[in-house]
Amino acid sequence: MYLKHWYLRAGFLVAFFLGAAFFGVCRAEAAAVAVTGDIVNLRSGPGTGYSKVGEVSRGTQLAVVGQSGGWYKVRLASGALAWIAGWLVKPVAVSPGSETSRAGSLPSTQTTECWVTVTGDYANLYSGPGTNYAKVGEASPGTQLAVIEQSGDWYKVRLQTGSEMWINRSSTRPVSGAVSQVPVSRTRDEDGLIGFDAKESGPVTEIGFTFVRPVDAQVSLSAVPPRLVVEIAGLPSGELGKGWDFDSGIVSRVYAEWVREEPPVARVVLDLKTSGAVSYQTLSSPDKRVLKLRLAAGPLYAVSGRVIVLDPGHGGSDPGALGPSGLQEKDFNLDVALLTAEELRGRGAQVFLTREADQYVDLYARTAKANSLGAAVFVSIHGNAAESPRLASLKAGTSTYWYAPADDPVLGFQREKRELLARCLQKSLVDKLGRKDLGLFTANFVVLRTATMPAALVEVAFVSNPEEEGLMRADWFRQAAARALVEGLEDYFQQAG
């Protein structure tokens, strides 16, 4: 157990006390990247746990021959192969006479167009490269976007409508092969005023409509007969569509019709197979030419309706671990918790935080709040720290803790669910952040021992590690950590019921 947790141990101790982003998107005959950090380490494998085999300086261009998680396998001019962290490079088109690495120059290689596809759930689109810019829309999972510019961890992308917006690269992955900006669909009608796409994703039906011009669309749900109705104002006269042959687990038929000539109003009707509870979500593009619908017979998300307590570790007079450049763990923990709460609430969960500002909260008070709320789960969010300064640059990665001794009458009963919660969170964090998987651990922490519901404590990354501290400062990394926690909770509730 690491030094930062001495105050969390039970009994004789007093109670004082985050896709992965992918890294590079250009499809190329021979992909290449340029180093963005001042001096960046080369390693023998895809992770900070592998031995250092060299260094490269800012601007150095390297030919890419492979990729693993957030790491690129690159070929040096000498022919030697090494690994470099993807968040410290950017995709480029290499030309003769480019800056060389310490091993020599690189052969010329030309990239072609750059494409990404949206991963996970809906991804936010912004007017500029950062969350401080205005949110101007969302992109649905599977949407393929053309990348036309990059600024740090943000891509400027062109939508199918021609609009240009910014997306964080943690919400995307590179596209290989032929690309199309329209997600794979069952049917599509290109001949009418309304285009149609639909697909099933597990229990959720996703339907998209594209319009020949910007429209005002209003969506309503009717119980008798069971159907979802989209009223559309702003279309010109003409044929709406030739009819759409679509059938899913929840939708039996989709059709469009004119309901008024002057001013013209059309409607699209989705006949539903169930008269029971139906959940739906709407998403309109900023230019009002695309409307997306998500429907499910029941909650759209497994976290919907769940009471979830998030615990941003430390706070106030307790800063937690300190990074080599001064990052305080408590600030990272709180930011990730707030981002996670926002996403969970958007999915219908009831979320409570043990603190929502920089304040000290006693350990026992944290779980007491969760217990009084009857929470379904309790998740404590932390950054890790090495046992000693000499190990600071060596310790890196993600881990998750749980606690449920078999002989405990309460916790032992929850043993399977507690371990499942920890496993789901750990897997999601490693998958999306690309850090070294340190695995699951059990520990008699106060916040794990005193929670009466399944509880886990996540160590997102090492604030004591210079490289990971830099990541923990980045907006995209914090957003990716939050999204990972949300997806981990989705996975948990899907399995635990």
Q: Stretch 208-222: mean pLDDT, rounded?
A: 89
pLDDT exceeding 90 applies to what percent of the chain? 39
Q: Provide the token pair at 90.
A: 């950017």
The predicted structure's pLDDT at residue 56: 82
Instruction: Place 340 in a pLDDT band, splitting at 50, 70 and 90.
Output: very high
pLDDT for the residue numbered 104: 28
Which of 75-79, 108-112, 228-232, 352-356 comes out lowest in average pLDDT?
108-112
Place of tokens 């167009």: 113
pLDDT at residue 178, rounded to an integer: 37
Average pLDDT over residues 290-302: 86
Weakest mean pLDDT among 52-66, 249-263, 483-497 = 52-66
pLDDT at 207 over 80: yes
Say if residue 254's pLDDT is above 80: yes
Tell me the average pLDDT across 175-179. Answer: 47
How wide is the angle at C-alpha 271 spanned by C-alphas 269 and 274, nearest 5°? Answer: 145
- Cα 479 from Cα 20, distance rounded (Å): 10
Mean pLDDT of 199-207: 82
Q: Is the pLDDT of residue 180 over 60?
A: no
Tell me: pLDDT of 99 over 50: no
Cα–Cα distance, 266 to 292 (Å, whole number): 17
Q: What is the pLDDT of residue 238?
A: 84
Higher-pLDDT residue of 435 and 410 is 435
Among 3.40.50.300, 3.40.50.720, 2.30.30.40, 3.30.413.10, what is the CATH number of 113-174? 2.30.30.40
Task: Return the percentage of the chain with pLDDT > 70, whole number.
Answer: 81
Structure tokens at 152: 């740090």
DSSP for residue 183: P
- In angstroms, the CA 147 to CA 282 distance is 25
Task: Tell me the HSE value of 314 on the side-chain side, using a 13 A CA sphere.
Answer: 21
Among the ranges given (154-158, 265-269, 492-496), the one the predictor scored with the smallest mean pLDDT: 154-158
In this predicted structure, the answer to whether residue 69 has a pLDDT above a threshold of 70 is no
Lowest model confidence (mean pLDDT) among 188-197, 219-228, 410-419: 188-197
pLDDT of residue 200: 81
Given a cut of 90, whether residue 316 has pLDDT beyond it is yes
Q: Is 179's pLDDT higher than 80?
A: no
Overall average pLDDT of the 229-239 stretch: 89
Specify the pLDDT at position 84: 87
Classify domain 194-296 by CATH number: 2.60.40.3500
Catalytic site residue from 138, 206, 329, 459: 459
Contacts of 252 (CB under 8 A, 6+ apart): 271, 272, 273
Q: What is the pTM of this model?
A: 0.56
The pLDDT of residue 401 is: 98
What pLDDT score does 61 carry? 83
Token readout for 91 is 């995709």
Mean pLDDT of 255-275: 88
Contacts with 231 (C-beta within 8 Å, 6 or more apart), sequence order: 217, 218, 219, 220, 259, 265, 266, 267
Number of H helices, E strands in the chain: 6, 29
| pLDDT interval class at 7 (50, 70, 90) | very low
Query: pLDDT at position 38, please?
Result: 63
Going from the C-alpha of 86 to that of each of 118, 176, 308, 423, the distances in angstroms are 18, 18, 33, 26
Residue 202 has pLDDT above 90, yes or no: no
pLDDT value of residue 110: 31
Does the annotation count 459 as an active-site position?
A: yes
Above 90 in pLDDT, residue 60?
no
Mean pLDDT of the chain: 80
Q: Decide whether 113-174 matches 194-296 in CATH topology.
A: no
Residue 281's pLDDT is what?
A: 83
Architecture of the CATH domain 30-109:
Roll (2.30)
User: For 359-371, what is each residue's pLDDT tens digit?
Assistant: 999 999 999 999 9
Helix (H, G, I), strand (E, B) or coil at 5: helix
- When pLDDT is cut at 50, 70 and 90, the band that residue 107 belongs to is very low
Q: Please check the confidence at residue 199 and state whether its pLDDT lies above 90.
A: no
Residue 96: pLDDT band with limits 50, 70, 90: very low
pLDDT tens, residue by residue, 117-149: 787 666 788 888 887 777 777 776 667 787 877
Q: What's the CATH code, domain 302-496?
A: 3.40.630.40
List the chain domain ranges.
Answer: 30-109, 113-174, 194-296, 302-496
pLDDT grade for 31, boundaries at 50, 70 and 90? low
CA 14 to chain centre: 36
Predicted pLDDT at 191: 58
Per-residue pLDDT, 93: 56
Instruction: Report the SS3 class of residue 17.
Output: coil
Element (H, E) at 424: helix 415-433
Which band of pLDDT confidence, cut at 50, 70 and 90, is reported for residue 169? confident
Q: Tell me the per-residue pLDDT of 350-393, one tens digit each, with 9 for 90 and over.
A: 999 999 999 999 999 999 999 999 999 999 999 999 988 888 88
